[in-house]
Amino acid sequence: MTNLAIIGTQWGDEGKGKVVDLLGEGADLIVRFQGGNNAGHTLVIDGQSYALHTIPSGVLRPGKVSVVASGVVVDPEDLIREIMGLSARGVAIGPESLKISEKAHMIMPYHRLLDAARENDPSGQKLGTTGRGIGPAYEDKAARTGLRLGDLRSPEVLAKRIAVALREKNCLFEGLYGVPTLKAEDVLKRALSWRERILPYVVDTARLLQDAQAQGKNVLFEGAQGVQLDIDHGTYPYVTSSNPTTGAVSVGTGLPPKALENVLGLVKAYVSRVGEGPFPTELIDAAGDEIREKGHEFGTTTGRPRRCGWLDAVVVKAAAALCGVGQMAVTKLDVLSGLGELKIASHYELDGERIDFLPAELAELSRCRPVYRTSPGFEGDVGQARRLEDLPKGARAYLDLMEELIGLPAALISVGAEREETIVLHRYF
Ligand code: GDP
Ligand code: IMO
Ligand code: MG
């Protein structure tokens, strides 16, 4: 039995989907434990690209069980679309292969509306969210006014809870944001229409996972977002509303913390960020544009251009410390080919002092100047490399510098979007 968590060490989009699909071969269950359909995880298999949002990235491997645990917020309408889209492409999904927690909270139509209203409010705080209603859904969970997937079993419970939620939401829509209000009966009708499609998947996933542990199954936990988007430990308030850090594996699944043995930190060979917020190594110049174009850095969920910059060892070391990362999976190394000299931030300078952490105060963080180490760079197509020795000397020098500055060994190196375009150095299962 092996338990492995895969987490993003930066600001998301590190290539978690690809790596989960790859390592999922040896897992019995693949589990999402936090976040929602703000995630966009892309897999490329034999030239076919699949963008997943709520369904775990093991779904393309027949015979595996995909679990959406209680820490995830689920948009039932979007999930139905995702299931139908995959089914139309021949990916069989049924109650045997997909299990969704009865305790997972639902993203309701008014959550999406509230997310959009806040983002569009000229006097408000624009975060650049994915507009999926993630924040408002987690707010209602904490306020204890949320609806859970298990509530779909009872129309009476649904009716009551929707009415309570809308009393407040409609005041905001009408009185503050000037957007149309929602009628409780319309929302109830929509929710009732989800029952037939969603309820067959809804189970007690905590017990399912506890049983799987007892049976010695291999479990892969698929993080969404990245550590710097963590609501407690990230660049608050420019974060998401969940915890992409590994502490959430336990809380979000119902397994004890000691169940987690292995943590693989996903490190993109450079950094990208979508939405607003600090980004010390951002390149707001032609080099940033070149990385964006070569790396196709446009959002899987929203299509927005991603901000790009040099790799930041301070960010990855923070993730390693917060999450107990044992090894790193380096992704998108191929994108750096032909860029000339490469840089990695080893530490920051803040008001003339050397620091090797991200200050909590945004004003201080914005004054941090990254201090770089350089590597000569490399040329040519590295997509065919399957062993370290297949890589050009310059690429190996860059990996060596990464390992030196970050202090973690690489367990795998991804050199292309396809499943096979990977150098595997360590197998977990
Ligand atoms: P995630 O959110 O962490 O799963 O990452 P995304 O799927 O949002 O973004 C990563 C993008 O890079 C996707 O389009 C992947 O297909 C692609 N990708 C993943 N690994 C590699 C790689 O090693 N090289 C290249 N060129 N693309 C990759
Ligand atoms: P994956 O799993 C990159 C960002 C948004 C925004 C902030 C808050 O694909 O790596 P939210 O909609 O969560 O309230 O938005 O978080 N964000 C992501 N950025 N990858 C993601 O997921 C993200 N999920 C949320 O862009 O800045
Ligand atoms: Mg993504």
Examine the fold and report which residue of 200, 232, 253 is the final residue of a domain before the chain moves on: 200
Task: Provide the pLDDT for residue 425.
Answer: 97
State CA 356 to chain mean position distance: 25
The answer to whether residues 136 and 275 belong to one domain is no
Element (H, E) at 81: helix 76-88
* Closest ligand 2 atom number to CA of residue 131: 12
The answer to whether residues 110 and 72 belong to one domain is no
Q: Is the Cβ atom of 38 under 6 angstroms away from ligand 2? A: yes
> Which residues are the active-site residues?
13, 41
Q: DSSP character for 334?
A: G
Q: Is the Cβ atom of 391 under 6 angstroms away from ligand 1? A: no
Examine the fold and report which residue of 172, 200, 228 is the final residue of a domain before the chain moves on: 200
> CATH no. for residue 151?
1.10.300.10
Q: Is the Cβ atom of 38 under 6 angstroms away from ligand 1? A: no
In a domain, 42, yes or no: yes
Query: Mutate which of 10, 119, 130 to test ligand 2's pocket (most atoms within 8 Å of Cβ)?
Result: 130
In a domain, 244, yes or no: yes
CA of 279 to the centre of ligand 1 (A): 20
Phi, psi of 93 (to 5 degrees): -130, 125
In a domain, 100, yes or no: no
Task: Provide the pLDDT for residue 333.
Answer: 98
The answer to whether residues 312 and 413 belong to one domain is yes
> CATH no. for residue 208?
3.40.440.10
The answer to whether residues 172 and 210 belong to one domain is no
The answer to whether residues 148 and 28 belong to one domain is no
The answer to whether residues 70 and 124 belong to one domain is no
CA of 383 to the centre of ligand 1 (A): 14
Q: Whose CA is nearest to atom 14 of ligand 1?
A: 42
Q: Is the Cβ atom of 297 under 6 angstroms away from ligand 1? A: no
The answer to whether residues 184 and 251 belong to one domain is no
* Mean pLDDT of successive 10-residue stretches along the chain, which has 429 residues: 96 98 97 98 97 97 97 98 97 96 98 98 94 98 98 98 97 97 98 98 98 97 98 98 98 96 97 96 95 92 91 98 98 98 98 97 96 98 98 98 98 98 95
Cα 231 to Cα 297: distance, rounded to the nearest angstrom: 24
Task: Provide the pLDDT for residue 422.
Answer: 98
Task: Provide the pLDDT for residue 299.
Answer: 83
In a domain, 99, yes or no: no
Q: Is the Cβ atom of 21 under 6 angstroms away from ligand 1? A: no
Q: Is the Cβ atom of 299 under 6 angstroms away from ligand 2? A: no
The answer to whether residues 275 and 310 belong to one domain is yes
Examine the fold and report which residue of 200, 235, 268 is the final residue of a domain before the chain moves on: 200
Residues whose CB is less than 8 angstroms from the CB of residue 138 and which lie 6 or more positions away in sequence, other chains included? 73, 105, 241, 242
Task: Provide the pLDDT for residue 302.
Answer: 80
Task: Please state the length of the chain.
Answer: 429
| Bridging pattern class, strands 410-414 and 422-424 | antiparallel
The answer to whether residues 21 and 70 belong to one domain is yes
Task: Provide the pLDDT for residue 234.
Answer: 98
Range of the domain at 268: 3-94+204-424
Task: Provide the pLDDT for residue 185.
Answer: 98
In a domain, 187, yes or no: yes
User: Of the ligands numbered here, which is closest to the C-alpha atom of 228?
Assistant: 2
In a domain, 429, yes or no: no
**Whether this model's pTM surpasses 0.95:** yes
The answer to whether residues 243 and 370 belong to one domain is yes
CA of 60 to the centre of ligand 2 (A): 23
Into how many domains does the chain fold? 2
